[in-house]
Each structure stands twice: as C-alpha cells, then as structure tokens.
C-alpha cells in the first residue's frame, strides 16, 4: 500500500534526496539562492495540480533555465579556482554546455547527456505514451540527477 501511495503522490525518496543535495550544495558553495529558488518554483508549479499545455511549457522552461543557470554558476566557480577561460558575457545556451566539454569537465557522452536533457526540456510536444505531468516529472527529476553528476565531477 505504501508503494502505491508513494507513486500516486509523486514521492521518490532518491530523487528528493538528490534534489535536496543540489540545494544544500548551492547554499554551501555559492551562498546564493538563485538555484534553490528555481527548484522551489519548479516544485511549486509541479504540485499545483492539472497539467495543460501552458503549464507543461512553463515547467519545462524553468527546468531548462535551471540546467543552464546551474552550468553558468558552476563555470564561474571553476574559473575562480583555476586557470580556465571564462564563458563570454552573454553565451548562448549551447556555448555553456560546450564549455564544459572544451575544458575537460565533461567527456563526449556526458556532454551528450546534458545536451539531451536540454533538448528534452525544449520539446513542448505532446507524447501519447505519457501524460504532460509525467513528462514534466521525468524531465525535472532527470535534470536533478544531471546536476548531481556535475557536482560530483567538479568536486572530485
């Protein structure tokens, strides 16, 4: 009964733990609330109820912003602690993702994964196999996991 209850309420202890790890990392390392605030906005939007096309687009848009803004902040932190070349003043989203590959943080497969997550969150089409809410849930949860991977790569 507990498993069914968790599935119906979108409770996933591992994802929630990793989401909280991202928040804690950001607060400890950056002392900033921009990423934790984005996560809160995403979670609030996700928990508001029914998902129509507009809510799906809004949720996916915020998840995409979360991914890119987190990458930008991580790149800034890496540049401060090393001799890496900083991103330009107004980089395109693809430039942000490519930077991590160019400086050797991500290998080719990891870069493809991050790019695929970005593309998944850019895709606002409806997929017959999953509901809009489920599509958004998978996208946000996978993005949290990608951020955990990046934090691990950077921390090692």
pLDDT digits (tens, 9 = 90+) for 92-151: 999 999 999 999 999 999 999 999 999 988 865 555 456 788 888 889 999 999 999 999
Contact residues for 139 (Cβ-Cβ < 8 A; gap 6+):
59, 60, 63, 117, 120, 121
d(C-alpha 108, C-alpha 99), whole Å = 12
pLDDT at 65: 95
Q: Cα(140)–Cα(67) distance, rounded to whole angstroms? A: 10
Q: How confident is the model at residue 84 (pLDDT cuts 50, 70, 90)?
A: confident
Asked whether 147 and 117 are in contact (CB, 8 A), the reply is no
Angle (deg, nearest 10), helices 132-155 and 13-29:
50
Task: Give the integer Cα–Cα distance in Å for 148 and 156.
Answer: 12
Amino acid 13: pLDDT: 86
What angle (nearest 5°) sits at the alpha carbon of residue 132, between those of residues 96 and 6?
A: 100
Residues making up the chain, counted from first to last:
156
Element (H, E) at 100: helix 93-102
Q: What is the pTM of this model?
A: 0.86
Q: 105 and 44 in contact (C-beta within 8 Å)? A: no
Contacts of 96 (CB under 8 A, 6+ apart): 68, 71, 72, 75, 87
């Amino acid at each position: 009964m507990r498993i069914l209850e968790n599935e119906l309420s979108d409770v996933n202890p591992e994802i929630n733990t990793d989401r909280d790890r991202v928040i804690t990392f950001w607060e400890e390392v950056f002392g900033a609330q921009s990423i934790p605030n984005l996560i809160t906005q995403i979670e609030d939007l996700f928990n508001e109820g029914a998902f129509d096309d507009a809510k799906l687009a809004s949720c996916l848009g915020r998840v995409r912003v979360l991914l890119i803004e987190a990458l930008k902040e991580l790149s800034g932190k890496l540049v401060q602690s090393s001799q890496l070349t900083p991103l330009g003043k107004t980089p395109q989203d693809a430039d942000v993702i490519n930077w991590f590959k160019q400086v050797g943080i991500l290998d080719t497969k990891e870069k493809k994964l991050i790019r695929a997550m970005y593309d998944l969150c850019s895709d606002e089409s409806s997929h017959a196999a999953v509901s809009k809410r489920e599509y958004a849930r998978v996208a946000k949860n996978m993005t949290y996991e990608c951020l955990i991977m990046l934090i691990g790569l950077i921390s090692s």
